[in-house]
Structure 1
Amino acid sequence: MSAAHTNALPPTPDDCAIWDIWLSQFRLPIVNVNAQVGTFAALAEAPRTCEDLAAHLGVDARALAMHLAALCAMGLAEKRLGMWRATHLARRWLHPDGEGYWGYFCRQIDRNTHLQGQLLESLKTGRRPGEAAQSDGEFVARPAEWERGTMSAEAARGIAAFMHAHSQAPALGAATQPVFSTLKCLMDVGCGSGVYGIEIARANPTLKVVLMDLAEMAAEAQSYVERAGMGAQVTTAGVNMFTQEWPREADGHFFSNVFHDWSDETCRLLARKSFEALPSGGRIFLNEILMDDEGTGPFPAAAFSLLMLIGTLGKQYSLAEFRDILESAGFTQVTAERTGGGYFSLVSAVKP
């Protein structure tokens, strides 16, 4: 070990403070974007539904709902009986006609103009910044590599490295869940570096784990398996989860930060493909940061949702939304547990 790393500590399941630092970059741009489009003034006039407010402001309702969740989590908006309204804080300090209006200062002090521009464009159009609408009028953006079904080895290395560091804490938290000890074989779908499958296998020595992703990504995951010394227990499978048949050996399918990349329609497709490939009694697992059922936060989920909006046109889902998606595919017994891995929860359901 090099001298530069002798004082480094191993990862733990709790990285909430790091997430708070990372996601804090969204706070000021969210305020400035909503001040610019008139959200605070409109919500100060009268309570409005998200759809009514979107029509009034001339913005996309789906994107606006994500912004409202973040504003609610920051104490600037509130939702009661399905109606949104500005809080006293927003009415006093963010109303453009108020003597105490902070909007000018907030706009001048915000140096994150790139993020602000992305948030504004996606709020107005409902599209991923810089991309055009599909010809059928419905825009459903997808991560580019998985949309194409291929990627370069260099891209796979970069994605794996980022996701491996990003996922250390939640992987350790997921690995401690006792439900994995009841399985014979777990397939980590969209595995990235394989960090989740590797840690779950390490915690369950009798469990066989298959890491499934695009061929280039699976090849990169293999290097992480070898580095971890888990080759006897963990294997890889290069499969396009949208266009190819899934391996049928697993009695559990695990997805982490996969469903949040996609539209509701695509999530339903993935749920159906999982249901078809699992045996009776098999389980599906979704490891995600969950929105609350009312769509009002918490802030880490709301800010992460906005990151998904501008990056993939996905979003963070609530347990209620995941239950609807999973039950539409035929799954039952939908539950969720906080794993202790930062802000993450493990959603689970069973194929009857």
Structure 2
Amino acid sequence: MPSALENSVYGLLSTPVLHTAVEHGVFTSLIEDGPATAPRLAERLDVDQDTLERMLLVLTSLGVVERAAGGEYSLTSDAVPFLDRRNSRYLGGFIKHLTLETRGRLDRLDTYLSEGKPATEASPFDDVYRDAESLRDFMRAMWDLSFGVSQELAALAGMAGTKHLVDVGGATGPFAVAALLTDPALRATVFDMPAVGPLVGEDAEARPVADRLGFVGGDFFADELPQGDCLAFGYILSDWDDDTCVTLLQKAYRACRAPGRVLIMDRLFEDDRTGPLATAAMNLVMHIEMAGKHRTAAEFIALLERAGFGDCEVRRASGEKHVVIGHKRQS
């Protein structure tokens, strides 16, 4: 079987195994307590040795874990940053979301393929906001998915000279916090649903900048956006169709003090839409969970220009998410 097909066939098991290992502290123990054999690791974690060893074999085959000649398991060096809870690139919350939320919605694909996606389908945010625990879990997933890459994106966007950043739909502020850490003169406001407000600033990385981080509660469909000289949409516009994106960008144009700019930070398809894999996979998730899609850089620029922004540019990061910038000039 070709390796690409083999990974696809057995991919059903990969994410749940990762999630279970995260939840039971397998990776934390291997990182903080050091490599261990399966029996020793099972003893540390007080878990069933046979089940653990079978999981470790899957993780070894995936290239997440490696086993030394003496039988001791350890994480591969390139996996460590993403599975270490202390690292800003930690993906545990996102893995949990894929396992507990996204996987349960995949059965919809059959209906969508046969009949199309119902225009009247309930909003995915109904699930997110169903209770305080669900909201906190979702916000944790968004922080884990966003804060690490936001540090690169903030540097790439260049915040020097910006006075007031408005992070639209900014969740608990992963991009806002990353931006504030780059420039001590910057102020930032997170704009999101009122229920998110109490969670903003909870993360340790936010504490040094808490005095410059504000929150405004509202609904970006019903309300105008707070004013600033830089408005950011971090992984927001891929949730919505083109016309809705233009409406939101027009609100950003009105709220943007000239000369100012808007930042779109999102996954980008290659121009020929052949990849990358993460963008293609999450493009399908957007169809299942949201009402949007992922786009090429040119498609985002077209949306910016429809909303009135000009002098658009693309700044590409080393990872999956990049920055598309539109400028608002003085009248």
TM-score, length of structure 1 as denominator length:
0.62
Residues 187 and 252 of structure 1 are in contact (CA less than 8 Å); yes or no, is this contact kept in structure 2? yes
Q: Give the C-alpha shift of residue 330 in structure 1.
A: 0.3
Q: Give the C-alpha shift of residue 162 in structure 1.
A: 1.3
In structure 1, stretches of 5+ residues that fail to align are: 26-111
CA 1:274/1:173 → structure 2, altered by over 3 Å: closer, same or farther?
same
CA 1:12/1:218 → structure 2, altered by over 3 Å: closer, same or farther?
closer
Q: AA paired with 1:179? A: G
The correspondence of residues 107-122 of structure 1 with structure 2, limited to 5 A, is 117-122=107-112
Matched, 1:284 2:262: yes
Q: Give the C-alpha shift of residue 176 in structure 1.
A: 1.8
Matched, 1:207 2:189: no
* Residues paired across the two proteins, number: 246
Residues 147 and 178 of structure 2 are in contact (CA less than 8 Å); yes or no, is this contact kept in structure 1? no
Q: Deviations over 1:220-250 (max 9, x none)?
A: 11433895232211111112111112222x1
Secondary structure of 1:231's match?
helix
Question: For residues 245 and 236 of structure 1, what CA distance do their matches in structure 2 show?
Answer: 15
Matched, 1:236 2:215: yes
Question: For residues 320 and 289 of structure 1, what CA distance do their matches in structure 2 show?
Answer: 13
CA 1:222/1:338 → structure 2, altered by over 3 Å: closer, same or farther?
same
Residues 177 and 205 of structure 2 are in contact (CA less than 8 Å); yes or no, is this contact kept in structure 1? no
Counterpart in the other structure of 2:274:
296
CA 1:200/1:226 → structure 2, altered by over 3 Å: closer, same or farther?
closer
Question: For residues 109 and 267 of structure 2, what CA distance do their matches in structure 1 show?
Answer: 20
The correspondence of residues 186-265 of structure 1 with structure 2, limited to 5 A, is 186-224=165-203, 228-248=207-227, 250-265=228-243
Matched, 1:271 2:249: yes
2:125 paired residue among 144, 168, 173: 144
Q: AA paired with 2:147? A: Q
Q: Considering only aligned residues, what root-mean-square deviation do their CA atoms show, in Å?
A: 3.2
Question: For residues 332 and 179 of structure 1, what CA distance do their matches in structure 2 show?
Answer: 18
CA 1:262/1:325 → structure 2, altered by over 3 Å: closer, same or farther?
same
CA 1:314/1:204 → structure 2, altered by over 3 Å: closer, same or farther?
same
CA 1:145/1:279 → structure 2, altered by over 3 Å: closer, same or farther?
farther
Looking at both structures, which has the greater relative contact order when contacts are Cα pairs under 8 Å and sequence separation is at least 6?
Answer: 1
Counterpart in the other structure of 2:12:
none
Residues 166 and 231 of structure 2 are in contact (CA less than 8 Å); yes or no, is this contact kept in structure 1? yes
Question: For residues 116 and 155 of structure 1, what CA distance do their matches in structure 2 show?
Answer: 19
The correspondence of residues 306-317 of structure 1 with structure 2, limited to 5 A, is 306-317=284-295
Counterpart in the other structure of 2:66:
none
Q: Give the C-alpha shift of residue 214 in structure 1.
A: 0.6
Q: Deviations over 1:305-327 (max 9, x none)?
A: 00111111311111111111110
Question: For residues 192 and 151 of structure 1, what CA distance do their matches in structure 2 show?
Answer: 16
Question: For residues 305 and 313 of structure 2, what CA distance do their matches in structure 1 show?
Answer: 12
Q: Give the C-alpha shift of residue 303 in structure 1.
A: 1.1
